[in-house]
Amino acid sequence: MMRHDEKITPASPTGNGPAPSQNLPVQRPTLSPSIKWLSVLVVLVATAGSIPLLLDFVHASDASTGYAICSPAGKDAIYTVSNDLPQVECFSVLGNKIQSVGSLAQVKFKWYSSFLLKTILKGTPGQRWDLPIHIIPDGAIVVPGISDSHAHILEFGATQQLPLEGTKTVEETVTRVRNFVLSNSDIFIDKTRLITGGGWDHTVWPNGTLPTMQALDSDPILRGRPIVLQSKDCHALWVSSEALKPSYPLPEEIEGGVIVRDGDKKPTGVLIDNAQELLKQPKLTHDDLLRRFKVTVREAHKHGLTSIHDAGLDPMSLDFFHGQATKGPLPIRIYGMKFFNETAGYTPGIPHILLPERRLQVRSIKIFVDGALRTGGAALYEPYADNPSTSGFMRIDMAVLRDVIPKFLRDGWQVNVHAIGDRANGALLDVFESVLQGINVTALRPRLEHAQMMTKEDMARLGKLGVIASVQPTHAISDMWYAQDRLGPERIKRLYAFRSIINDGARITLGSDFPVESINPLAGFYAAITRLSFEGTSPHGPEGWFPEQRLTRGEALKGMTLDPAYASFTESELGSIEAGKLADFVVLSANIMTVPGNEIMSTKVLTTAIDGEVVYGTL
């Protein structure tokens, strides 16, 4: 970016001649009390309406910690996501906060006013009040720091070791695993080394059949190695026989899950939903976790993410993040959802982890109600169209939900519940409706994680209750190719019905569920406003899959900035570019609010800043 250093040299304290030379002894101002307070009055009158904020900045850091970001001349290229000033020319940053927002003249006035007040009130001698101004490139825009309201941080780092998404057959997937082993000498030499990867998707393979451990065991390079491969939706594990050995004997059945078996009732090597918990794996080391974390943070910053809501921190992950935060501020803001262990049940008095200055907050609980549509575990009212023998399953006893949800809410925990099928969402809304009567929902902000499919009556009930719908638009364009076969032509109309949810008064917040989908938040923005594949196609043609359910660009931007802030109780500090909020912002190479839809995914992140500090790119 271009940088212009705007400098002002204040008059001497007596008003006669230039300011004292930097090489000469500095004298304190000798204003009489009456003149001093008259000057204060003039500045305060001129800045009426922002006096408290201005006084805050009087006591803030000095000018060396500040700068301004501005649009090219004659343009308002900063999208604030604020109703008062939706687009502006400039904003200034002082310390870790946004000082002012508006035109260049307004930003300069606020900047110099704060330092003039500091000089008058504190007697600070004639310091230089430089305001570095960074002009963004022509065609670029600035948006608030982007949040992903539903993702899995360490899991993403794990899948990047061996990504399997995009393979078209079982054989191609096995080949990718084999090539990974052959290209890593330390893994090739040590046959006991656990091999992990993720992203396989059987729905795009011929006949949509699930893989088997035989496919891994029959390869001479992979035979005898422990291999654990996570499915694209993270609701199934495909394992080798060597990886499954420590978990024997397996139970015949497991509630809320499936051990896939062959015609002889023998396990095939695929474990679905709660059955995944049966697999015994080596304990991860701190270095393993740190390596995964660094991979995710690097990719997050690269794509403009400044905050992530981690949807289900198990004790190991929670301890890791807490430990990292005690050493210093995390490199990205994390809003953690504590994983609910049904076996352990409800434990009263568990304290929240609130370390905003260390960028970690854990004040919500994550509960699973059902499985996923892709693997046939989403709980439906009617059987699956392509498998009438099942209507999915609930992963938790409803009696447990009715017992623990009121207790968590009473203890001040936000309750976030994974619910995908219409039966799962309906059952959960029944519980919320029974416990939210007469309660300040705004103070609790319960969330439906995914909210993929609901009856029309439940969509209306969602808005009436004030429950937040945490949705993932990229799931829609991934599932649109197989979903009608699975649900039939009528039920499909209620899948990913984002516009209907908003029209019924509910608040939505956007995420990706990475590593299930791309970590790039622009993919979610694109999917929300187009409902097209990245190639520009859909089962319903170039207008998009059920185009009446598209979001506007303004709704999509708000859904990945201010709405996630609201969903994490941080809307007073994050989510928009407004004076007094923390200085999280992103510079994009193109104007995603106006460019044709097919140009959105070619947009690059030029700068990602957290607390005013650049963590990716440059200013």
Tell the burial category of 582 from Cβ atoms under 10 Å away from its Cβ (0-12, 13-18, 19+). Answer: buried
Which has the closest alpha carbon to 152: 310, 260, 272?
310
Average pLDDT over residues 351-357: 95
Query: Model pTM?
Result: 0.84
pLDDT at 166 over 50: yes
CATH superfamily of 286-573: Metal-dependent hydrolases (3.20.20.140)
Quick one: pLDDT at residue 602? Answer: 98
- Average pLDDT value for residue range 81-95: 96
* CA distances from residue 186 to 177, 288, 490 in whole angstroms, order as listed: 15, 16, 53
Non-local (6+) Cβ contacts of 125 within 8 A are 13, 20, 26, 27, 28, 29, 119
pLDDT for the residue 124:
53
**H/E element holding 616?**
strand 613-617
Find all residues with CB under 8 Å of 286, minimum gap 6, and list them. Answer: 320
Instruction: Provide the 10 A C-beta neighbour count for residue 330.
Output: 17
What per-residue confidence (pLDDT) applies to 112?
85
Using a pLDDT cut of 70, give the percent of the chain over it.
88
pLDDT computed for residue 136 by the predictor: 98
Give the pLDDT score at 344.
Answer: 81
What tokens were used for 90? Answer: 């400039």
Q: Summarize pLDDT for 301-311 with one digit per residue, the tens.
A: 999 999 999 99
Contact 563, 554 (CB under 8 A): no
Question: Is 425:451 a contact under the CB 8 Å cutoff?
Answer: yes
CB 69 within 8 A of CB 93: yes
Task: Indicate if the alpha-carbon torsion angle 575, 576, 579, 583 is positive or negative.
Answer: positive
Two structure tokens written together for 451 = 């909210």
| Residue limits of CATH 3.20.20.140 in the chain | 286-573
pLDDT, position 437: 84
From CA 188, how far away is CA 185, in angstroms rounded? Answer: 5
* pLDDT band at residue 122 under the 50/70/90 scheme: low
pLDDT at 127 over 60: no
Closest alpha carbon to 126 in 25, 5, 4, 6: 25
Q: Which amino acid is at 163?
A: P
> 592 near 141, Cβ under 8 Å?
yes
* Whether the predicted pLDDT of 131 surpasses 70: yes
- What does the pLDDT read at residue 28? 33
What average pLDDT does range 505-514 have in this prediction? 97
Position 21 confidence tier, pLDDT thresholds 50, 70, 90: very low
Q: What is the mean pLDDT of the chain?
A: 89
**Residue 587's closest CA among 575, 604, 574, 599?**
604
Compute the average pLDDT of residues 53-75: 71
Using the CB atoms, write b or e for 51-74: b if 16+ within 10 Å.
Answer: eebbbbbbebeebeebbbbbbeee
| Ranges 40-49, 140-149, 182-191, 352-361: which has the least confidence | 40-49
Q: What is the dihedral of CA 583, 587, 593, 595, to 10 degrees?
A: 180
Tokens coding 46: 């001129």
Range of lowest pLDDT (61-65, 231-235, 341-345): 61-65
Phi, psi dihedral angles at 422 (to 5 degrees): -65, -35
Q: How confident is the model at residue 128 (pLDDT cuts 50, 70, 90)?
A: low
Q: What does the pLDDT look like over 432-481, one tens digit per residue?
A: 999 888 888 889 999 999 999 999 999 999 999 999 999 999 999 999 99
Model pLDDT for residues 388-437, shown as the tens digit of each residue: 999 999 999 999 999 999 999 999 999 999 999 999 999 999 999 998 88
**Confidence band, pLDDT 50/70/90 cuts, at residue 203:** confident
Q: What is the pLDDT of residue 273?
A: 87
pLDDT at 16: 34
Question: What is the CATH T-level fold of the domain 153-278, as seen in this structure?
Answer: Diaminopimelate Epimerase; Chain A, domain 1 (3.10.310)
Residue 282's pLDDT band (boundaries 50, 70, 90)?
confident
Residue 188 has pLDDT above 60, yes or no: yes
With tokens 């009130």, the residue in question is 121
Domain with CATH 3.10.310.70 in the chain: 153-278
